[in-house]
């Protein structure tokens, strides 16, 4: 059995292995190819109905299947299996798990016949490139490897014929892969056949030096696209509000998962960190800069564009300064009857951090006792799951006035902390 924590360690181990041991001239059988095969193996495996345990085993085998290129080109699979075996023994894996992983790796040999479903899945993942739109770009990187080994150039027509032989001889072993990659493989095959009929061969295009955009920065670009929809005046008003909520929810999840992971990488030693393309500290700084700029744009659009537009349609978001006496009285009564019974207050002290629930909103108050110089900070939950995010205030017919639940708690903080003066209040979320 391959537990999740062992798989995570394998990811880091393989990244480090490629960074330290795999030669730079391996421009096809590189870390990019390995991670691509691992992703494809999981996708195909899920499509074929593999169990979660089998998926982890296949993914780990995919991670190691080309590590042997650091020691040998021909017959690298046996070296890859040996490296995987050594890693798994060190991690305390059982003999059955080790045998399954090594058998999976050896099934990727060109003349091997994959027997189990897991072996067929890995074999299809390793050859997914045959049915991908960038087949020719990947083939060009493979040509550079072969030329390095042979010590001479390979002509365009000769290489096109070799790729044509490969595509004609190749077949996918799983129905999922045939459905997913088969149509594009047919396109790739016909393109090569047409090129050879016209006598043009395959053009030599040097592989780009920067093939990847960092996954986290790429994700922020995607979320920026969501924000663009919220900022577009051509989009219906309430749809813009939805896009704004989606952007904020996405960013919240991103920081909880991805940024937290990057921050944990700071604890790695120097050797382990060498496996990372970008130092985590620098990447977190870049992420923070981009996210902060997006938040500024979102906040500015909310204050200067969406709130006025909503108010023009009779929907107003109020704060303490904009409420009338009747609305304040309603907010205080609602706080006393509905909110206060659900509040949990915990004082923040050094060495005694309170438990903060995941995805829950909290307020941190800075307080000072009246007549006493000592200051303290307290944590208060915002019971939005029980009561909702907004309080509907009394308003004239045809108009809706809303108050954020956390603003109601701020409004009534003096009642909640009688005997203390509220110096500041900030919202936080875990």
In 3D, which of 426, 425, 410, 430 has the Cα closest to residue 355?
Answer: 430
- pLDDT for the residue numbered 403: 94
- pLDDT for the residue numbered 278: 52
Is the pLDDT confidence value at 212 over 80? no
Question: Which tens digits make up the pLDDT trace of 136-166?
Answer: 989 999 999 999 999 999 998 899 999 999 9
Domain 213-313 is found in CATH 1.20.58.310: yes
Query: Do residues 114 and 126 touch, judged by C-beta distance below 8 A?
Result: no
- pLDDT for the residue numbered 350: 78
Is the pLDDT confidence value at 323 over 60? yes
Three-state SS string across 158-211, please? HHHHHHHHHHHHCCCCCHHHHHHHHHHHHHHHHHHHHHHHHCCCCCCCCCCCCC
The CATH number given to 315-430 is 3.30.1840.10
Give the separation between CA 262 and CA 276, rounded to whole angstroms. 10
Please state the rounded mean pLDDT for residues 272-277: 56
Domain regions of the chain by residue span: 4-198, 213-313, 315-430
* DSSP bridge partners of 365: 378, 425
Q: Name the maximum alpha-carbon separation found in the chain.
A: 94
Is the pLDDT confidence value at 209 over 80? no
- Beta strand pairing call for 361-369 and 420-429: antiparallel
Q: Which of 261-275, 308-322, 343-357 has the lowest mean pLDDT?
A: 261-275
The percentage of residues in the chain with a pLDDT greater than 90, rounded to a whole number, is 67
- Average pLDDT in the chain: 89
Query: Do residues 370 and 354 touch, judged by C-beta distance below 8 A?
Result: no
Query: Do residues 382 and 342 touch, judged by C-beta distance below 8 A?
Result: no
Is the pLDDT confidence value at 234 over 60? yes
Which H helix or E strand runs over 288?
A: helix 280-301
Give the separation between CA 428 and CA 365, rounded to whole angstroms. 11
Query: Do residues 159 and 139 touch, judged by C-beta distance below 8 A?
Result: yes
Q: Which residue has the tokens 């951090």?
A: 353
Tally helices (H) and strands (E) across the chain. 19, 7
Is the pLDDT confidence value at 279 over 70? no
- Beta strand pairing call for 345-348 and 375-381: antiparallel
In 3D, which of 337, 411, 351 has the Cα closest to residue 425?
Answer: 411
Confidence band for 82, pLDDT divided at 50, 70 and 90: very high
3-state helix, strand, coil in the chain (%, to 5): 60, 10, 30
Question: Which tens digits make up the pLDDT trace of 28-71?
Answer: 999 989 999 999 999 999 999 999 999 999 999 999 999 999 99
- pLDDT for the residue numbered 347: 87
- pLDDT for the residue numbered 318: 92
Give the separation between CA 229 and CA 245, rounded to whole angstroms. 11
- Domain 4-198 in this protein, CATH class: mainly alpha
- pLDDT for the residue numbered 207: 54
- pLDDT for the residue numbered 105: 96
Query: Do residues 342 and 383 touch, judged by C-beta distance below 8 A?
Result: yes
Query: Do residues 67 and 181 touch, judged by C-beta distance below 8 A?
Result: no
Is the pLDDT confidence value at 192 over 80? yes
Contact partners, residue 306, CB within 8 Å, separation at least 6: 230, 237, 240, 241, 244
Which H helix or E strand runs over 6?
A: helix 4-21
**pTM here?**
0.54
Please state the rounded mean pLDDT for residues 361-373: 85
Question: Which tens digits make up the pLDDT trace of 224-233?
Answer: 999 999 999 9
CA 197 vs. chain centroid, Å, equals: 44
Residue bearing the bigger pLDDT, 365 or 269: 365
Question: Which tens digits make up the pLDDT trace of 294-308?
Answer: 999 999 999 999 999
Residue bearing the bigger pLDDT, 369 or 69: 69
Please state the rounded mean pLDDT for residues 287-296: 94
- Beta strand pairing call for 315-318 and 400-404: parallel
Which DSSP symbol is given to 403?
A: E
Which DSSP symbol is given to 352?
A: B
Specify the 3-state DSSP secondary structure of 366.
strand
Confidence band for 360, pLDDT divided at 50, 70 and 90: confident
Please give the structure tokens belonging to residue 72.
């040998």
- pLDDT for the residue numbered 275: 55
- pLDDT for the residue numbered 274: 55
Confidence band for 419, pLDDT divided at 50, 70 and 90: confident
Please state the rounded mean pLDDT for residues 249-275: 76
Phi, psi of 346 (to 5 degrees): -135, 130
Alpha-carbon distance values, 174 to 40, 110, 116, 171, 195 (Å):
13, 17, 11, 9, 29
Please give the structure tokens belonging to residue 337.
């009857």
Phi, psi of 403 (to 5 degrees): -130, 130
Question: Which tens digits make up the pLDDT trace of 389-406?
Answer: 999 999 999 899 999 999
Confidence band for 196, pLDDT divided at 50, 70 and 90: confident
For the sheet with 315-318, list strands across it. Answer: 315-318, 400-404, 390-393
In 3D, which of 18, 28, 35 has the Cα closest to residue 147?
Answer: 28
Residue bearing the bigger pLDDT, 388 or 263: 388
- pLDDT for the residue numbered 420: 87
């Amino acid at each position: 059995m391959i537990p999740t924590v062992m798989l995570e360690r394998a990811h880091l181990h393989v990244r480090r292995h490629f960074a330290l041991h795999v030669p730079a001239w391996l421009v096809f059988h590189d870390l990019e190819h390995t991670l691509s095969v691992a992703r494809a193996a999981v996708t195909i495996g899920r499509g074929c109905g593999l169990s979660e345990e089998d998926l982890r085993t296949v993914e780990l085998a995919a991670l190691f299947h080309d590590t042997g290129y650091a020691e040998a080109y021909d017959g690298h699979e046996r070296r890859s299996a040996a490296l995987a075996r050594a890693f798994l023994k060190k991690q305390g894996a059982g003999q059955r798990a080790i045998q399954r992983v090594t058998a999976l790796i050896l099934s990727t040999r060109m003349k091997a016949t994959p027997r189990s479903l897991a072996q067929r899945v890995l074999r299809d993942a390793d050859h997914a490139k045959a049915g991908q739109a960038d087949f020719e770009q990947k083939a060009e990187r493979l040509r550079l490897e072969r030329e390095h080994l042979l010590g001479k150039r390979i002509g365009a027509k000769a290489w096109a014929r070799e790729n044509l032989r490969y595509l004609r001889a190749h077949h996918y072993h799983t129905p999922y892969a045939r459905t997913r990659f088969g149509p594009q493989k047919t396109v790739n095959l016909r393109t090569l056949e047409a090129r050879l009929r016209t006598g043009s061969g395959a053009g030599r295009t040097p592989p780009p030096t920067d093939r990847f955009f960092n996954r986290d920065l790429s994700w922020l670009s995607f979320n920026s696209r969501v924000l663009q929809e919220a900022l577009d005046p051509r989009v219906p008003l309430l749809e813009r509000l939805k896009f704004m909520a989606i952007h904020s929810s996405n960013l919240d999840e991103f920081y909880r998962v991805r940024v937290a992971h990057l921050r944990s990488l700071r604890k790695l030693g120097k050797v382990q960190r060498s496996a990372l393309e970008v130092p985590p500290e620098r990447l977190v700084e870049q992420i923070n800069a981009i996210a902060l700029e997006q938040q500024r744009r979102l906040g500015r659009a909310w204050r200067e564009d969406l709130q006025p537009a909503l108010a023009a349609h009779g929907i107003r978001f109020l704060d303490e300064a904009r409420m009338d006496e009747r609305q304040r009285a309603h907010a205080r009564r609602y706080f006393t009857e509905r909110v206060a019974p659900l509040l949990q207050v915990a004082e923040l002290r050094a060495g005694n951090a309170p438990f903060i629930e995941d995805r829950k909103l909290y307020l941190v108050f800075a307080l000072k006792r009246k007549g006493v110089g000592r200051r303290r900070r307290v944590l208060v939950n915002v019971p939005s799951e029980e009561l909702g995010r907004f309080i509907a205030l009394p308003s004239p017919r045809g108009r809706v006035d809303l108050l954020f639940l956390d603003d109601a708690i701020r409004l009534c903080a003096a009642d909640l902390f009688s005997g203390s003066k509220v110096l500041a209040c900030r919202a936080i979320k875990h």
